[in-house]
Structure 1
Amino acid sequence: MIWLAMLLASLIGCGSKEPASEKYRISDHGITVTASSRLAGAIESVKWNGVEFLTAEDHGRGLQSASSFDHKGEAYNPTEAGSLWDGGRSTSTSQLLSVNLSNGLETTAQMAFWLSVGDKVLSDHVLSKRVQIIDMNTIQYDVQFYIPRDYGYAQLEVLTGYMPPEFNEFYTADGNRISSGPGEQPIPVLFSNGKYAMGIYVNGVENYCRHDYTETMKWNAVFRKENIKTGYYAFRCFVIVGDLQTVKQRMGELWEVKNNL
């Protein structure tokens, strides 16, 4: 997916002029989170004291949510930021339905299919989120999926982040160094460049994945369910950013609280 998206980013958008992307930004405690209309409200930048933690050259990256159903993978893959074919465009196939900055960053988007399903490029799945900066290292990230019909199997990529290539040291929340994968484990993960780090913890999720794509590093938190029913599915995520030792400490605290419940 990554290499093809990069190729399309270099080829698409060479014709007529497109509208400029709008930015939606919140900033507090030294953290700045920026979403854009280009990515239908998905997050294209997270900075801590000026350090950038994301790469978002195309609509498959950044910090966003996605889903797939009935074991079809990318062949049935509603994606918050847009489709593969959006490439490097300043617009998205996903439809940004609302933005509210009065209480953090709130967005709602009708998700595009990453790859078209027949002649359909826009799904009827809806993704809503509220992002709040709660202290100098913690972003609270509440996500809600609307699933419009029953499926035999669902895989919700509750939250995924694509990071610059220098963030190639991987750890688990219990402090252990792990390989670059690809791999999956029940313990939350954090990625570091040796000095700074980003970690992810999601309530109710026990599948954390990692992948070294060389030009970008991917993590995700995945929820899987058989025989999922029509309805709303909500998750609370915590994205931890800062210097490596602080992120390790915060992630360890979250993991300890979870284990003591």
Structure 2
Amino acid sequence: RLYYVDMGAIPAYGFHIHGTIFDTIVSGIWANEPIKTQTWEVGPGNAAIFEATWKDAGRYLFHLHGVPEEKGTMSYFDVQDAPSNAIDGVDVAKTKSIYMWDWQKQVADGLQKPDSNAQITKTSTSPTGHQQHSFFTSEEIDDSKIVETTLCEVEEGSAVKSSNRSYYPKITQINSGDTITWTNKDISVHTVTSSNDLFDSGMLMPGDTFEQTFEDVGLYEYYCTLHPWMTGTVKSI
């Protein structure tokens, strides 16, 4: 049995236990009939009671969907074969906190690869101050879409695929020997990772920066291991 309370410091996110159908008692009010759920969203200031039983022993991951998940809000229930006199909540379900970022990167490195056919976005600002996005594929890249700068950023909202935001500029031109600085201006964790393992920023928290010097002439493609639709290119001349 889990007593879950959103103290009001975060928006509503879905609570999910992998491989488990659990009973949810809405708002933590015992008068409410339990509902069979896989995921349940609890809003600020609200609560819920979750009850689960497992047929088989093992580790069952649980987490909040969305931004908290990307920041490592995960753990697991270590379900063990319990003796007949086990105390519920003490012996039956034991939890252990685990560091998820390295695990996520390991999974991403093994399973996710940059998509060479993905659409690339370029953001510009109109005279009225509104941001505008244009699209082109890697086959259509030309010099008119290149921005000469050594300052790049992860755009705010990049963690949401439908936002069409990513790295800016998407195509950066520099002179060989220059150093580029990326700044994470999003509220989510991101990476700046070379497609051919030449460089890797590691996990960039909001506001963090990463620098990389490009000594040789060439094209360098990179992406975010946590959000592989985010891609960028450095052109060193």
- TM class, shorter-length: under 0.3
Task: Kindly indicate which of the two structures has a greater share of residues assigned to strand.
Answer: 1
The TM-score normalised by the length of structure 2 is 0.23
The TM-score normalised by the length of structure 1 is 0.22
Structure with the greater alpha carbon radius of gyration: 2
